[in-house]
Structure 1
């Protein structure tokens, strides 16, 4: 018997649980759309605002559940992780709407940190199981290295992405200033480590 999976179930459960717990504390109307300066420009009834995104999450999970059987085996992992990324982004949006309704300011920088951190951790998790990364390495000229060095590069990339993602999520919680310079610096450092180590191992 097929299962939905622990990760999608936990993301949906957490989102719904937080929505139910916070429901009595929220105002009658919730801001669900924001302008470029992150000021609200669209409001809807809170019950509808809290139902829409979990409903979409369940719909997308159902699409993945019934659709992955029609996807070729070699592409199934990518298919699953695309939906997992979508679920995480929808959860971040829902939690941001709730936080704003409770009176917390959600700067665009904090939202960007949450998104970048989640994306990095999901990509790291994907790389742990993906076999297509080695096909990609061959396409970009990573041909001279043996299997050991390719696996070493893969581990370096996974660790770097995991550290970057964790740092973004931690900073999103404790951020007090604009994180733009931090994100640019960390992204540049991540690229140097991943690309530099790949170049070095390929020429070794």
Structure 2
């Protein structure tokens, strides 16, 4: 298997298989109604029958991988499509590893282990932002992009947004040092600020 195929399907498939195997191994010990979603205070606020909750995440892993891989096929320009696929391959690996970690924590919580979800979420999302921010400048301007820019402005825009994402990721990681639920709320604030910069920056460079 080539490195490309390993990133594109090998690692996601392996992660989904590991998640499913863990659920099968502990299936008898899991509660009939599994906690699958948590509020900022670490209290579960959504439950699901374990027949679905134990195996939902492996399905999501494969679905996200399929959608990510298919999205690059929509690009009509061959050279841009290859660049998109390279970026998507890295994003695939980062996302499925994150989803595997979420699955492990969810199973652990439902088995009775004391797990602080509010500590994990900002840390995990921050690491994803750092990883994606580093590869974002390699992504070409897609044919279907909503905000069209001149190529030199697009290159500047993705460099800036990539740096913003990395900084936002580090801030989220550091937010785990905040007490109580503060880290989760700070993460939401950072994401909101980043979304404003993404939309505002795209609008600004598209008009130049």
Structure 2-normalised TM-score?
0.55
User: Partner of 1:44 in structure 2?
Assistant: 50
Q: Secondary structure at the match of 2:5?
A: coil
Aligned to 2:36: 33
- Secondary structure (helix, strand or coil) at the match of 2:187 reads helix
Unaligned runs of 5+ in 2: none
- Is the Cα–Cα contact under 8 Å of residues 124 and 162 in structure 1 kept in the other structure? yes
How far is the alpha carbon of 1:195 from its aligned partner? 7.1
The 3 A distance-change label for structure 1 pair 185 and 68 is closer
What's the counterpart of residue 100 of structure 2?
91
Cα distance in structure 1, aligned partners of 2:158 and 2:48: 44
After superposition, residues 1-204 of structure 1 pair within 5 angstroms as: 3-6=4-7, 9-10=10-11, 13=14, 28-30=29-31, 31-34=34-37, 37-39=43-45, 41-42=47-48, 44=50, 53-54=57-58, 57-58=61-62, 61=65, 71-74=74-77, 76=81, 77=84, 81=88, 84=92, 87=96, 90-100=99-109, 101=111, 103-107=113-117, 109-110=118-119, 112-113=121-122, 116-117=125-126, 120-121=129-130, 123-125=132-134, 127-132=136-141, 139=148, 147=152, 150-169=154-173, 171-172=175-176, 176-178=179-181, 179-187=183-191, 190=194
Q: Which runs of 5+ in 1 are unaligned?
A: none
Distance 1:177 1:11, change over 3 A: farther
What's the Cα RMSD here? 5.2
Q: The residue matched to 1:104 in structure 2 has which SS?
A: coil
Instruction: Verify the 8 A CA contact 1:99 1:106 in the aligned structure 2.
Output: no
* Distance apart, 1:131 and its partner CA: 1.3
Please identify the structure whose Cα radius of gyration is greater.
1
Output the CA distance in 1 between the equivalents of 2:115 and 2:167: 26
Shift of 1:124: 2.4
Residues 14 and 132 (structure 1), Cα distance of their counterparts in 2 relative to 1, 3 Å cut: same
Query: Secondary structure of 2:50's match?
Result: strand
CA-to-aligned-CA distance 1:101-129 (integer Å, 9 cap, x gap): 3512344x446525643653464255222
In 1, distance between residues paired with 2:11 and 2:106?
Answer: 19
Question: What SS class does the counterpart of residue 4 from structure 1 fall into?
Answer: helix
